[in-house]
Structure formats: structure tokens, C-alpha cells
Amino acid sequence: MKTLQQEISKKILVSLVMGINAVNVFLPMGQSMVSLQEFEAKQEIKTLETTQAVKYESLNEIAGYVEKLVFKTAEAGRIINVPGVSSVVSVLPLGDTMNIMSGTGIVQYLSGGTQIVSGGSGVVSALNSGVQFIYSGAVGIASNISNATQFIDRGGTGHASSLIAGTQVISSGGSGYVSSINRGTQFVNTGAKGAVSSLNGGFQRVNSGGTGTIAVLSGSLQHINSGGTGIVSNMTGGTQYISGGVGNVKALNAGGTQVVSGGGIGVITALNYGGTQIVSSGGTGIINELARGGTQIVLAGGSGIVHRRN
């Protein structure tokens, strides 16, 4: 149990710290990008490209603190084992842990507790300030996540109906699905897949080897790192920032911005009135159809291609 807790703590820490820095840097930029002229675009791109990465020399020490925070009183609380039959708990408070090896574990209200799903299925109706950890081929379902974390690892699958100021972290081989994110965050790491139906005021970060898909992006940020792939079907406001990965937007509408930095490739099927694509040095921007009132800004050293203008 102790080793698993330490592993969870470290992975949550790395993902959250990276995401906090990305949100602090990129989201304000995305919100102000709508009305950029070329000079302003240069300044914003320069800021993005010179941002320093977070240092993790003391990760083990900090992870110990996170472990205490996340599993604060787990040893002193209840430990509910689900070895193969269904178990239903009304409330799982701070200090309580539900371990699901097989079968189904159901929590109606998880408030500060921990549900670990290493086999079978874990179901939470309301996940509030706790952790649901989904491991090794298991399935976790949370109807509402608020100020809490759903962590998906090693081939696990996580589903969330609503993510409000919470976090879904998807590690290698995992898959995460969220119907609606509002002020929440989805991290898609190497070899993982993340899908969001509606991203409104939230953040999706796609790391190398990961794939992030968003049906509707509005007033939010999708950040695609080198080697990652991001796909947005309909962008109505917000920003897709591509730093070395590949980003694809099918319809980029008024208020939406795609930013392509060094080594990145940005493809837009239809850039409509009021939408903007900014391509900085080393980036490549491709627009299949550019409507009147849409804007492509190509900075020095960037490459911009427009196949058709309306």
C-alpha cells in the first residue's frame, strides 16, 4: 500500500506542477490573443518560447509532502477491500480507503477519501476533494468531479461526466473521457488518450506521444507539447497552442486562435471570420480554406500555407 501511495503521489505532483505553470503562462495569453496585431503576436510568442521548465531536483522530498496531503490519515481510517463482490458505501471521508481488486465498488459521496481500482470497476457519484486511482485494465466512473483528482494509469480507463475545478490525469496506456470540463484540467501523458466533449474555461495538456481530442473548445486552452497530437472539431473562442506537436482544428471560428511555435505543425480545415492563426519561427501553419475576415499571421522564420481563399 505504501509503495502504491508513493507512486500515485509522485505522478500527481509532476502532472499538477507542470499544468499549473502551463496554465499560468498560456491561459492569459490565449484570452488576449483574439485582437493581436503582428507586433503583439511577436511579444506573446517570445514569452511562450522563453518560459523556463520547472525543476524537479527535490521531487522525492516534495512527493513525500504530497503523499501526506493526499493520504493524510489513510492508515488511521477505514480500509474497505472489495475482493470480488459488489460493495456500496454512502460516504468515503478523509482517511478512508476503498481497494477494489475485482468486482464493483460504489461510493455515493467521496469526500477526501481514496478509491483505488486495481481490477474490476469503481463508481463514484460525487467525487469531492478526494482521489480515484484507476490501475491496470480497471475502469473508473465518476459522475461529478469537483476539486478532486481522477488518476488513470497503465491501461486503465476513466470516465467523468462533469469536471469542475478538478483534475483528470491520464498516464501511459490509459484512456480518459470527460463530457464537460469547466475550470478543470485534463493531462494526457505519453501513450495516453484523452477526449473531452466540451472544454469551457478549462485546460487540456497533451504531452509527447499522447493524443487529446476536443469536440467543442470555448474560452479554454489546449496545449500540445513536442510529439503530442491535439484535435479540435469546433473552436469558438480559446486557444490551441502547439509547441513542437501537431494540432488540427476542423472549424476555427470568431474568437478562436491557433498558435504554432518552433517545430510545431498546425492544420486548420476552415478558418472562419474572426478566427486567427499565428505561426512563429520554425512553425508551419496550413489552412485549407480561409474565409474573409479570418487572419493568418506568419512571423519571421515561420511558414504559412493557404490552399483556398473565400
Residue with cell 480500509: 79
**What are the tens digits of pLDDT across the range 18-33?**
444 444 444 444 444 4
Mean pLDDT for the stretch of residues 39-54: 46
Mean pLDDT for the stretch of residues 212-237: 96
pLDDT of residue 3: 54
Average pLDDT, the chain: 82
pLDDT of residue 265: 98
Mean pLDDT for the stretch of residues 86-114: 93
pLDDT of residue 22: 45
pLDDT of residue 219: 87
pLDDT of residue 46: 52
Banded model confidence at residue 45, pLDDT cuts 50, 70, 90: low
**What are the tens digits of pLDDT across the range 234-293?**
999 999 999 999 999 999 999 999 999 999 999 999 999 999 999 999 999 999 999 999
pLDDT of residue 289: 98
Share of the chain above pLDDT 90, in %: 65
The yes-or-no verdict on residue 47 having pLDDT over 50 is no
Mean pLDDT for the stretch of residues 291-306: 97
pLDDT of residue 188: 96
The yes-or-no verdict on residue 12 having pLDDT over 90 is no
Flag the least confident range among 6-15, 62-71, 121-130.
Answer: 62-71
- The more confidently predicted of residues 16 and 168 is 168
Mean pLDDT for the stretch of residues 287-302: 97
pLDDT of residue 29: 41
pLDDT of residue 251: 98
Flag the least confident range among 41-55, 117-131, 182-196, 197-211.
Answer: 41-55
